Amino acid sequence: MATLLETRRLTKSFGGLFASRGVNLAVEAGEIRCLIGPNGAGKSTLFKLISGTYRPDAGQVYFDGVDITLFRPYRRINQGLSIKFQVPGIFVDLSVEHNLRIALQRLVASAQIDDETEKLLYFLDLAGARQMLAGTLSHGQQQWLEIGMAIALCPKLLLLDEPTAGMTPEETFKTGELLKRLNAGGMTIVVIEHDMAFVRQIARCITVLHFGEVFFEGTLDDVVNSKDVVRIYLGKE
Amino acid sequence: MSWLSGFNGPQTLGSGLGFWSSFAAAVVLLAAAPWLVESYLVNNLAYFLLWTFMALGLSVIWGHAGILSFGQTAFFGLAGYSYGVISINLGDANGLTWVAFSGALLLTALFAALVAYFMFYGGVGNVFVGIVTLSITLVMETFMAQTAGPEWAIGSARLNGFNGMSNMPPLTMPGIVEGGLVLEGNALYWFVLALAVSVYLGLRRLVNSRFGNVLVAIRENPDRAEMLGYDVRLYQLAAFTLGGALAGVSGVLYTTWGSYITPSSMGLTAAALPIIWTAAGGRKDITTTFVATVFLLWLSQTLAVKGAQYALVLMGVILLLVVLLAPDGLVLLASRALARTAAELRRRRT
């Protein structure tokens, strides 16, 4: 498998605080990778460095063999990257359907956009809420809507920052199955998640971040059996 | 009705048979105005309509793209003065006034694009766009006000300082009648009306197109819009340039209508008025903006008979009312109340 995403010594500090300290991360095409770590470990910062929201102080980001470190976010998206933020980044004053259309129109021709919107609405189980303002949806539905907008871009790499926050256990499970289906279709996915049951459901490889550095990398069993990870992440000796 | 579908969409109010029938009736009635009312009123109607371009442009910039420009009058004034300078130098023979018309609009659009480039590619955003654009219009007003001396002339066109330029030739259509058809009186009114209807319909298509969807996405959440792969700065530049060019259309038409343009057309009071018209109607919709602009201009003119200051005080009160009570606009508030009443009546009947 070829490496789709690679960060080399990626560093970002805010004042004197290092949110990302020389992070080296390689994600193979076709993987589902989970990033875990305690609060403040630098997971969301790493996503923002990859997506271009933040410029790194040092280091590089390579995507599909291209150095995208200096690319603006929209250029990274057009390279085949898509992201769902931790706080739902939807258009709250527009209808659910309108949100999806704006995302779909990037790739879908006008003649097909009605059909594709319809498919996505049913796929996301939001067909009944199509005319509702996105801001009036439940938190879980907003997460689904943003995931829908992210996958509407048919990305090579999907970055999801806590996609199941605010979801019921059933919705969380359904989200996991959705991600596995997308991955089976060839989409590479990197997920930041705290829910270990969800992590177990979807991921084969896990990267643990701590104080802005890669602390550990391995399978879920490796992670669970690592005393160091248990100590820093679960707070147990 | 499917041929109308391109003019309807989530960004515009009104889409049914009732709306389009009313629209057609209004256009026919306005077109027939020269036979129905006295010429003084026709001249006034032309005056009201010529300002709608600037308001519609602001609706695109502010209402759709979410950028508050306080300086649309800079583009209005630049276009007016440019038309004056070019047309006075070229004269009105052989349709040369259209060269002046096009040249003034091109120059204005280029200037708007340049301002937009420095603002949006330079990272100026939110309230600072309002401050920058207001500064530009005030600087231009101040500059033009001190051009009274004979040294301030471009070719044979004197800028005339605070008194402004005058005596520019009206637009002339070559070839229709001997010597060309001069667009004055009823002819100018019909021209302005046709242009206003065309621009209104064109903007309805534009704001409901993919481009319009992206503008609204930028207004709602620019970070998400960029994360959908849209170059936010480029769309902002395009919207701002379009709005500037439309303000330019108003500027040229105003100059040809009255055959004069003065620096005060770029002053603080002038700069505030388009914001009041657009906000009062409902900046997110071009129909409400259009209706409110014509209505408020009529109201201002009616009140101005009693004293110009009353009209300005009323405009200020209207702006306060909009900000405090109807942030989406008074026309939008009224149309929603009407829709609710109609729905309630229908419910009671069934």
Residue A181 is assigned to a structural domain of this protein: yes
| Closest C-alpha among B209, B208, B228 to residue B218 | B228
**A89·B226 Cβ contact <8 A:** no
Q: Which of A77, A78, A94 minimises the CB distance to B220?
A: A94
Using a CB–CB cutoff of 8 Å, tell me whether A117 touches chain B. no
Q: Is the pLDDT of residue B308 over 80?
A: no
Per residue, what are the HEC states of A62-124?
A: EECCEECCCCCHHHHHHHCEEEECCCCCCCCCCEHHHHHHHHHCCCCCHHHHHHHHHHHHHHC
Q: Which two tokens stand for residue A10?
A: 């990626």
Whether residue A138 lies inside any domain: the answer is no
Residue bearing the bigger pLDDT, A188 or A140: A188
B226 vs A contacts (CB less than 8 Å): 72-74, 77
- Token representation of residue B96: 């040369």
Q: Are strands A157-161 and A81-84 parallel, antiparallel or unpaired?
A: parallel
Residue A127 lies in a domain: no
pTM of the entire predicted model? 0.92
Q: Is residue A216 part of a domain?
A: yes
Q: Is A77 in the B-facing interface, judged by CB distances under 8 Å?
A: yes
Minimum mean pLDDT among A124-138, B43-57, B80-94, B325-339: which range?
B325-339
Do A82 and A153 contact (CB within 8 A), yes or no?
Answer: yes
Buried b (16+ CB within 10 A) or exposed e, B193-219: bebbbebbeebbebbbbebbbbbbbbb
Question: Could you tell me the residue ranges of all domains in chain B?
Answer: 37-264
pLDDT digits (tens, 9 = 90+) for A148-183: 999 999 999 999 999 998 888 888 998 999 999 999
Closest CB from A91, A103, A149 relative to B220 = A91
Q: What ipTM score was computed for the predicted complex, to two decimals?
A: 0.92
Which residue from B242, B248, B212 is spatially nearest to B230, judged by alpha carbons?
A: B212
| Interface A:B, Cβ pairs < 8 A | 58
The answer to whether B209 and B270 have CB atoms below 8 angstroms apart is no
Spatial distance between the Cα atoms of B310 and B119, rounded to a whole number of angstroms: 36
CATH (domain of A36) = 3.40.50.300
Work out the average pLDDT over A62-90.
93
Are B221 and A90 in contact (CB < 8 Å)?
A: yes
Q: Name the region of B319 (left: φ>0; alpha: ψ -120 to 50; beta: rest).
A: alpha
Question: B207 contacts in A (CB within 8 Å)?
Answer: none
Per-residue pLDDT at B114: 98
Choose among B110, B121, B124, B120: nearest CA to B78.
Answer: B110
Quote the longest CA-to-CA distance of chain B: 76
What is the spatial distance between Cα B101 and Cα A163, in angstroms, rounded to a whole number?
A: 55
What mean pLDDT is predicted for residues A180-205? 91
Distance from CA of B217 to the nearest CA of A (A): 7
pLDDT digits (tens, 9 = 90+) for B256-281: 999 999 999 999 999 999 999 999 98
* Region of residue A102 (left: phi > 0; alpha: psi -120 to 50; beta: else): alpha
Is residue A161 helix, strand or coil?
Answer: strand
Q: How many CA atoms lie within 13 A of B161 on its CB side?
A: 7
Averaged confidence pLDDT in chain A? 91
R_g (Cα) of chain B, nearest Å: 21
Domain that holds residue A10: 3-91+156-234
pLDDT at A1 over 80: no
pLDDT category of residue B237 using cuts at 50, 70 and 90: very high
H helix runs in B121-258, sequence order: 127-145, 185-207, 210-220, 222-227, 232-258
What's the number of domains chain A is made of? 1
CA atoms within 13 A on the CB side of A22: 1
Q: Are B280 and B316 in contact (CB under 8 A)?
A: no
